[in-house]
Structure 1
Amino acid sequence: MRTLLLACIFVSIQIPISLHAQKQIDYTFANIPPELIKNANAVVRLQEAKIDIHSFKDMTVNKKRIVTVLNKYGDQHTRTVQDYDSYLKILSLEANVYDKDGKFVKKFKQKDFLDQSDSDGYSIYTDDRYYYIRYTPPSYPYTMVFETEYQTSTTAFIESWYPISNIFVSTQESDYQLSFDTPQAHRIREMNFEHFPVKNLSVGDKYHYRMENITAVKPETHSPDFVEIIPSFRLALDQFYLKGVEGRGNNWKDFGKWMYDDLLAGSDDLSEATKAKIKEMVKGKSSLEAAKTIHDYVQQNTRYISVQIGVGGWKPMKASEVDRLGYGDCKALTNYTHTLLEAAGVASYYSIVYAGSDSKKDIPEDFAAIQGNHAILAIPSIEKEGEITWIDCTSQSLPFGFTGDFTDGRDVLIVKPDGGEIVRTKSYLNEENYQKTVAECAITPEGAMNAKVHIETKGIQYNQRYGLSMQSEKELEEHYKAYWSYIPNLQIVNKELTNDREGVVFKEDLQISTTNFGNFVNGKLLFCPNGFNQITNVPDRYRKRTMPLKIERGYLDEDEFTLKLPEGYEVESLPQDIKMESKFGIYEATFVKSENGIISYRRKQFLKEGTYPKEDYEAYRAFVKDIARNDNAKVVLGKIN
């Protein structure tokens, strides 16, 4: 099956795109209800899936998807792709194109589809392939009808139902059916049905769901992840087949036991020479110190390359192979690090996670099945019960014990010899995501400014900035000009970047200059004392907010700027001190004028993590708008008579 890699692909969790049903569909664009065209790049006229499970290792799937594409942004939603491998046989595959008036334009038979290896650019071995078509329409709108039928022995992945395909996509009808030829023990998971007009037509173990006339969803700023709010249905077998390997487990303990016994056991082999080398490396060190030494050794001596053959998409390479070759994917590198730690007498556990920086996704505690897209390592503390150090063995840059926003704050599966367990990874919240900016500025009589700026970041703010140390001079120049976009004619005179991996702190020391820091208005010199950490973007306004407000992690910024006034000028007007508090956070700013021509500016901005009702969004927007307005407050200088 085709898989889409993040750091590495461990499993393939796919949104279904489609059933062969003999329904008469009017392909004419003019007959689409107007409410389905509003805010849509594409309209799914019909999405059908019919799954017949014959046994725990035999399944037939029929899918049909009819999509009217309204513009170039809707092309991607035709989803004219069919994965295959040695365990999946395509029985039929075709696509037909119609113009806006419903007239036939073009037919694609299976022989017309392009056949390509599912290589991700990092894989050196993969047996996953896919058929797809490349179609360039002469005009919009047009309608694509895509139909496929296949038979597979891999029942570890059963087509799920997501009646809402994506943002900016409406759906006229979505229909999903699943049945068993013979009874099979299984589990189901229905999500968010209560919020949508889902028709449940199921009878016993014959599952049948339908939704109709679903208008397009527009994304909203600071809202929950799309898949958290849309309806979905998923089914998993207690006994299943995974590319030649029988699987089992109806709860995480049993499922984890199967994973350990059938996928992980036997992969932890090492030569005696390597074991001896590791023992010598960690001699006299504590468990945590030994773990850090081994983590750094893996970072320095391995690189990421994927291997995806057969069950290899889920079973790691042997540790001895990684040791010999010096490469592996996330599964292999995690297992390799685990094996090295084992040689050093340090306990650790292979763990499975949904990784991703844009959103946090949990492995659900109440639904055991093959899930996740990445492997990381859990190292339990021997000093503090329940405390775990997490490491991402794929990353060649993250410090020991810091996983950043790729795997933080989500439920993951830890695989132990006696079974699986759902545990939450380290969360980086609120004050932990810290930035301190200190600046010494000197303003000239012409309104120019020279400054020394020091920035320190921790937590997720460290995660967002430590990569600067690996960028080119040109990239750094572009970064700082974008970061301080409100400073005209910015010049970076000098810079020194320090990545403190031990303390997990990133430090930036810069000398900058600008010719237009201040503006002259009627003989007065005006400038903004907050020169280096302004909020400039105010969240979008919505006439009718529909989704909850979600602040993902929160953060704390503290700023201390001193500004030396130009000779011959004095302060005529200084912004008032301000302190604002709300359920979303705190904002403080103070201005102190000294006798020696120095203005001291202090600022604190704290944004609190949390999920709030949609009714709170306008208050949140007003809070940020007030911060932006105060960040841009001006000092007025006049000439000394």
Structure 2
Amino acid sequence: YKYSITSPFIYNVDEFIFQHDIPVNKIEAFFETPEYFVFRMNVKGFLNVMPKREQFNKSLDYTQRVASGGTTNAGAGQGLGRTTQVRGNVKYVSNVISFDLNNIEPLKEEPFVNELSNYRSGVKYELSYTQFPNSSKEFYSRTWEDVVETVYKNPSFGDELRKTNYFKEDLDAIIKNLTDEQEKINTIFSFVKSKVKWDQSYGKYTRKGVKQAYQKGVGNTAEINLMLTAMLDYANLEANPVLVSTRSNGMPLFPTREGYNYIVSSVRINEGIILLDATSQNSLPGVLPIRALNWEGRMMSKNGKSTIINLYPTNKGSIQTFQNITLSGNGTAVGKIRNVYKGHQALSFRDEYGKDKQKSYLNQLVNNNDGIEINNFEVKNNNELAKLPIESFDFTTESQIDVVSDKIYFSPLLFLATKENPFKQEKREFPIDFSFPFENISTTIINLPEGYRVESIPEAMAIALPNGMGNFSYAINNVGNVLQLKVSKKINYPVVPAEFYPSLKEYYSKMVGKLNEKVVLTKI
């Protein structure tokens, strides 16, 4: 099939998409413009796109009515100018960029991708300037300074940020005795989250205004986080808004207001800059929701300048797991598990185990762990954000242990062992995005069944990724009738470049292999 698009919006050309979710035999695409319109071309994705550029001499016939002078009587005090129809011809150069691509591989879903469409091969066009005959150039391309100035001057942004009267009395009452900066930040952040709930809509501009959002108790991202920024600034803290493009919105390739669709807040303290997003009830200062972790944002200061700021966290999210397991000779294992969550792992847990989600969370916990039986499930500190959430439960499983004749075989982590390598493709062209650096450490005590002795246990292992990007360690010891196991998994960077994909794939392969090695017990 073949199609064309006609639009009066010359500055906004639809993206040429070359790569799809299915294989494509052939694509031909043409972009033709008169010499008076100069566009900047931005190629995205990993296909080797080679545009062909050509110029053609063309002409355009036109008809125009022009005033010819004189008047005609059309009533007292009125006169109509005479017009004459004039025909003409304009010769111009037509610039044509054409693309001819064959046998295009599909863009496949892969694990740990922030937004697959960000890496879909295509071309975007931006109107740089126009220059008509006998006229000067009129520029349309923007610098980031232009974008920031335009956003800041918008009444639904800058004016809203400067408003303080609607909250002054309430805020004075809660911060009047606070002198510590961090305590002020935590108090104001908690106050905004309790006062205004997010309406689930994105935006860098307010819709109904910060005052109405404050009074009604509901607002969009701009209303909530501009309000937060204004309160922090009012409390004599160095606070500024940060323009963000959410993961679903993609990455801004060139200066444009449409490239950003979200706002978070920032505050500078001696230790550095803390990012805050009060739209998430479970977030903490320095812990943004995953939707906002998309490479870089643009921090806007009052003097109209902007600064690029890294949105990815540097602090690790962590899960500490403690297990105590007792095995029986018939292949049953009963045990207790306690998980302690921190940082982004705590945010993720609280979001999954939030209000009205407990039943679905438990069902998923059972289904994801080979149908274990769970009892005495308990969560502590789930609503006390200053404390770490702790999850604990008892379990029984009969599917994790193989009893063959007088031997017992089992993986020491039972259902917690990662069963397969998530990285299966031979090669990968885009980065591996873990969202945040993380550290998962598990300590396991296994009480062996009476009448059995250890015949063999897995060897210890310690492996590391290049450039300090991560490491894995596994150590198991047999002390009397007890096995002691400690496993540590660390990824130290939120994003791993694609060039390290082979190393990461091999790292995960070795780790999964080790986690699934068996302990062998022999009947005495």
* TM-score band, normalised by shorter chain: 0.7 to 0.9
The answer on whether the counterparts of 1:168 and 1:216 sit within 8 Å (CA) in structure 2 is yes
Alignment of 1:174-193 (within 5 A): 174-178=29-33, 189-191=42-44
Out of 514, 520, 524, the position equivalent to 2:397 is 514
Paired residue for 1:378?
Answer: 266
1:393 aligns with 2:278: yes
SS in structure 1 opposite 2:278? coil
1:197 aligns with 2:50: yes
The amino acid that maps onto 1:367 is P
Paired residue for 2:18?
Answer: 164
Change (3 A) 1:420 1:393: farther
The answer on whether the counterparts of 1:350 and 1:378 sit within 8 Å (CA) in structure 2 is yes
Out of 589, 593, 596, the position equivalent to 2:478 is 593
Measure, in 1, the Cα distance between the counterparts of 2:508 and 2:333.
28
Q: Deviations over 1:488-508 (max 9, x none)?
A: 543334322433765574321
Paired residue for 1:9?
Answer: none
The amino acid that maps onto 1:557 is N
The answer on whether the counterparts of 2:242 and 2:263 sit within 8 Å (CA) in structure 1 is yes
Change (3 A) 1:297 1:236: farther
Measure, in 2, the Cα distance between the counterparts of 1:564 and 1:506.
27
Measure, in 1, the Cα distance between the counterparts of 2:257 and 2:382.
40
Measure, in 1, the Cα distance between the counterparts of 2:486 and 2:144.
51
Paired residue for 2:194?
Answer: 300
Paired residue for 1:290?
Answer: 184
Paired residue for 2:160?
Answer: 267
Paired residue for 1:281?
Answer: 174
Alignment of 1:445-456 (within 5 A): 445-456=329-340
The answer on whether the counterparts of 1:163 and 1:211 sit within 8 Å (CA) in structure 2 is no
The answer on whether the counterparts of 2:46 and 2:119 sit within 8 Å (CA) in structure 1 is no
Out of 490, 499, 520, the position equivalent to 1:606 is 490
Change (3 A) 1:223 1:234: farther
Paired residue for 1:537?
Answer: 420
The answer on whether the counterparts of 1:353 and 1:363 sit within 8 Å (CA) in structure 2 is no
Out of 307, 312, 316, the position equivalent to 1:427 is 312
Measure, in 2, the Cα distance between the counterparts of 1:506 and 1:162.
47
SS in structure 2 opposite 1:606? strand
Change (3 A) 1:468 1:370: closer
Q: Deviations over 1:242-282 (max 9, x none)?
A: xxxxx988322233122212342322465746312211211
The amino acid that maps onto 1:355 is T
Paired residue for 1:337?
Answer: 228
Measure, in 1, the Cα distance between the counterparts of 2:415 and 2:320.
11
Change (3 A) 1:575 1:432: same
SS in structure 1 opposite 2:18? coil
The answer on whether the counterparts of 2:461 and 2:473 sit within 8 Å (CA) in structure 1 is yes
SS in structure 2 opposite 1:537? coil
The amino acid that maps onto 1:631 is L
CA shift, 1:530, in A, is 1.3
Out of 99, 105, 108, the position equivalent to 1:211 is 99
Out of 232, 256, 264, the position equivalent to 2:148 is 256
Change (3 A) 1:621 1:227: same
The answer on whether the counterparts of 2:147 and 2:255 sit within 8 Å (CA) in structure 1 is no
Measure, in 1, the Cα distance between the counterparts of 2:205 and 2:96.
31
Alignment of 1:359-378 (within 5 A): 361-364=250-253, 367-378=255-266
CA shift, 1:425, in A, is 3.3
Change (3 A) 1:540 1:518: same
Q: Deviations over 1:567-593 (max 9, x none)?
A: 222222222222333436433212211
The amino acid that maps onto 2:230 is T
Change (3 A) 1:571 1:271: closer
The amino acid that maps onto 2:219 is G
TM-score, scaled relative to structure 1: 0.65
Measure, in 1, the Cα distance between the counterparts of 2:149 and 2:142.
11
The amino acid that maps onto 1:512 is F
Change (3 A) 1:515 1:534: closer
CA shift, 1:560, in A, is 0.9
The answer on whether the counterparts of 2:282 and 2:350 sit within 8 Å (CA) in structure 1 is no
The answer on whether the counterparts of 2:13 and 2:124 sit within 8 Å (CA) in structure 1 is no
The answer on whether the counterparts of 1:266 and 1:318 sit within 8 Å (CA) in structure 2 is no
Q: Deviations over 1:207-241 (max 9, x none)?
A: 643322342424163586443462422315689xx
Deviates more, 1:518-527 or 1:604-613: 604-613
SS in structure 2 opposite 1:499? coil
Q: Deviations over 1:257-311 (max 9, x none)?
A: 2221234232246574631221121112234322322221221122233789xxx
Which has more radius of gyration? 2
Change (3 A) 1:179 1:259: farther
Between the aligned residues of both structures, percent identity stands at 13
The amino acid that maps onto 1:550 is I
The answer on whether the counterparts of 1:252 and 1:419 sit within 8 Å (CA) in structure 2 is no
The answer on whether the counterparts of 2:439 and 2:488 sit within 8 Å (CA) in structure 1 is yes
The amino acid that maps onto 2:20 is N
Paired residue for 2:360?
Answer: 475
Change (3 A) 1:527 1:608: same
Change (3 A) 1:199 1:546: farther
Gaps of 5+ in 1: 1-44, 50-61, 63-149, 240-246
The answer on whether the counterparts of 1:442 and 1:566 sit within 8 Å (CA) in structure 2 is yes
Q: CA RMSD in A?
A: 3.5
Change (3 A) 1:178 1:493: farther
1:227 aligns with 2:118: yes
Q: Deviations over 1:134-178 (max 9, x none)?
A: xxxxxxxxxxxxxxxx546xx7x6124333253226352223345
Paired residue for 2:295?
Answer: 410
